[in-house]
Amino acid sequence: MKGAPLVVGFIVLIAVGIGAVTLIAPLIRGERAVPLGRLELPAPGEIRPDYLADGTPVWVARHDDGAVDVLSGFDTHRPSNVGKILWWCAQSEALENPEHGSTYDEYGFRIGGPAPTGLPAYATTVEGSHVVVGEPQAAPPPDAPHTGPEEVDRGRCLGPDHERIWHTFEDWHAWNSPTAAVQAAPEGWILLEAQLALRDGSIAVCALDGCADSVVAANVDPTNAEREFGPLFGDRFIAQVQDGALIGVTRVMPSDAGEPGEAEPPAEP
pTM for the model: 0.82
Same domain, 180 and 157: no
* pLDDT of 40 over the 50 cut: yes
Residue pair 204/191 in contact (Cβ under 8 Å)? The answer is no
pLDDT tens digits, one per residue of 223-242: 865 555 544 457 999 999 99
Rounded distance between C-alpha atoms, residue 75 and residue 83, angstroms: 7
Say yes or no: 128 and 214 in one domain. Answer: no
The answer to whether residue 32 is domain-embedded is no
Do 160 and 237 fall into the same domain? no
The domain boundary, picked from 166, 200, 221, lies at 166
pLDDT score of 99: 85
Residues 181 and 223 in one domain: yes
Side-chain-side CA neighbours of 184 within 13 Å: the count stands at 14
Domain boundary among 166, 199, 225: 166
**Domain-embedded: residue 267:** no
> Cα(269)–Cα(265) distance, rounded to whole angstroms?
12
Give 87-133 as a DSSP string.
Answer: EEETTTTEEE-TTT--EE-TTS-EEESS-SS---EEEEEEETTEEEE
Parallel, antiparallel or unpaired: strands 83-84 and 245-251 = parallel
Considering the domain boundaries, does residue 269 fall inside one?
A: no
Residues 209 and 115 in one domain: no
Do residues 43 and 160 share a domain?
yes
SS3 178: helix
Radius of gyration of the chain (CA): 24
Query: pLDDT averaged over the chain?
Result: 84
Residues above pLDDT 70, as percent of the chain: 78
Instruction: Examine residue 224 and state whether it is found in any structural domain, yes or no.
Output: yes
* Count of structural domains within the chain: 2
What distance separates the 2 farthest-apart alpha carbons in the chain? 94
- pLDDT band of residue 155 (cuts 50, 70, 90) is confident
| 134 and 223 fall within a common domain | no
Q: What is the mean pLDDT of residues 212-220?
A: 95
* Residue 100 confidence (pLDDT): 87
Residues 194 and 102 in one domain: no
Indicate whether 41 and 76 sit together in one domain: yes
| pLDDT attached to residue 227 | 54
> Looking at the predicted structure, is the pLDDT value of residue 17 above 80?
no
- Residue 233 domain-assigned (yes or no): yes
Residue 193 forms part of a structural domain: yes
Q: What is the pLDDT of residue 158?
A: 79
Q: Quick check: is 19 in a domain? A: no
Measured at the CA of 170, the angle between CA 245 and CA 239, to 5 degrees, comes to 15
Q: Please tell me the total number of residues recorded for the chain in this structure.
A: 269
Question: Is 98 found in the same domain as 162?
Answer: yes
Report which secondary-structure segment, H or E, holds 144: none
Residue 97, pLDDT above cutoff 50? yes
H or E element at residue 72: strand 68-72
Verify that 70 and 159 share a domain, yes or no: yes
Domain region containing 199: 174-251
Q: For 186-209, how does the pLDDT look when each residue is reduced to its tens digit (9 = 90+)?
A: 999 999 999 998 888 899 999 999
Residues 128 and 188 in one domain: no
Identify whether 245 is part of a domain: yes
Where residue 108 sits, what CATH number does that domain have?
Answer: 2.102.10.10
